[in-house]
Structure 1
Amino acid sequence: MPINAMPGHLIRRLHQLSTATFSEQMKAAGIDMTSVQFAALQTIHEAPGIDQARLAHHIAYDRATIGGVVDRLERKGWVTRSINPEDKRARRVALTGRGRAVLQKAAPIISALQGNILSGLSDAECAQFIALAAKAVAVEGGFDPSR
């Protein structure tokens, strides 16, 4: 099987292109943010007070590593952490004013760059790709992107 017909290779290449596009656009906008940090900020915005374990689940990130992501967001002044009164071992995460401001600045840039990632596809093909990728992620990764 040729390498360019292997799903794993194509997914890796698409991830490289996506990450490079994201990084370039954020750097051009003067925003020091990774795609994982954006996913975390957006999720925290949508679910204020979410705990770190649920945050990790929502963005399909390793529970052991999410603490480092939240550490970096906290150092940037974009989030705060507090002890969950219902479970003293858990930490709740919330956006700060600075976090909301950077998310508001980044969101339209990120929305616009989504088209760049799949620029070789028509609108219908993009919709089909997204549906199929979401289905593959849900089945293979045990992750439901709608939750």
Structure 2
Amino acid sequence: MLEIYEMPGHLIRRLNQVAVSLFVEETAKKGYDLTPVQYAALSAIGATPGLDQATLSSHIAYDRVTIGGVVDRLEQKDLVRRETNPKDRRARELFLTDKGQDTVDRIRPLVWEMQALLLGGLDPTERSQFVQLLKKAVEASNDLSRAPLRFP
């Protein structure tokens, strides 16, 4: 057996691969063309209308360059709109379009179903413990990331 099979980093990467694959496949079955980061961005924009791209990147822990492309694609899909900040003409505020809000509303239950599938090998108590331990590990290592999560 390879030693990497016992390493948290490898196991987390594998679980992430499964999560991304599951997300893309299941949302496509429902007629949506979204990635997990696009869904995260839509969720954050919906929760905090008017935030800018820098704040969005810190709220979902992605680097600013990646978020720029994500927002461009969401705007092309008519899910997000940019508006000039009246207090700072250089800044752009982000808002969900009606189509974007509808997409989030329709996909959210599916995303929760996918979480259950992802952890299907665990009983309910183990799922809760696993999520709590993941949160604890992520919080403890947040500042080691190139794109740390920063949410007020």
What TM-score does the superposition give when structure 2 sets the normalisation length? 0.90
TM-score by length of 1: 0.93
The structure-2 alpha-carbon separation of the partners of 1:53 and 1:146, relative to structure 1 and needing over 3 Å to count, comes to closer
With a CA cutoff of 8 Å and minimum separation of 6, indicate the structure with the bigger relative contact order: 2
Give 2:117's aligned residue. Answer: 116
8 Å CA contact retained: 2:23, 2:36: yes
RMSD over aligned Cα, in angstroms? 1.6
- Alignment partner of 1:119: what SS? coil
Change (3 A) 1:60 1:80: same
CA distance in 1, matches of 2:139, 2:17: 21
- d(CA) in 2 for partners of 1:82, 1:64: 19
Report how many residues are paired.
Answer: 147
1:48 counterpart residue number: 49
Q: Give yes or no for contact 1:134–1:145 (8 Å, CA) kept in 2.
A: no
User: Are positions 1:27 and 2:36 aligned together?
Assistant: no
Instruction: Give how far 1:27 is off.
Output: 1.0
Distance 1:105 1:5, change over 3 A: same
Q: Please state how far the C-alpha of 1:109 moved relative to its aligned partner.
A: 0.8
> SS state of the match for residue 121, structure 1?
coil
Flag the 1:144–1:69 CA change in 2: closer, same or farther, 3 A: closer
Contact 1:45-1:94 at 8 Å conserved across structures? yes
Q: Does 1:103 align with 2:68?
A: no
1:36 CA displacement? 0.4
Q: Give the secondary-structure state (helix, strand or coil) at the position aligned to 2:74.
A: helix
Identity of aligned residues (%): 46
Segments of 5+ residues of structure 1 without an aligned counterpart are none
Question: Which residue of structure 2 aligns with residue 37 of structure 1?
Answer: 38
Question: Per-residue deviation at 1:28?
Answer: 0.8
Q: 1:146 to 1:116 in 2, by over 3 A?
A: farther
Cα deviation, residue 144, structure 1: 5.2
- Contact 2:50–2:95 (CA<8 Å) still a contact in 1? yes
Once the two structures are TM-superposed, the CA of residue 88 in structure 1 deviates from its matched residue by 3.1
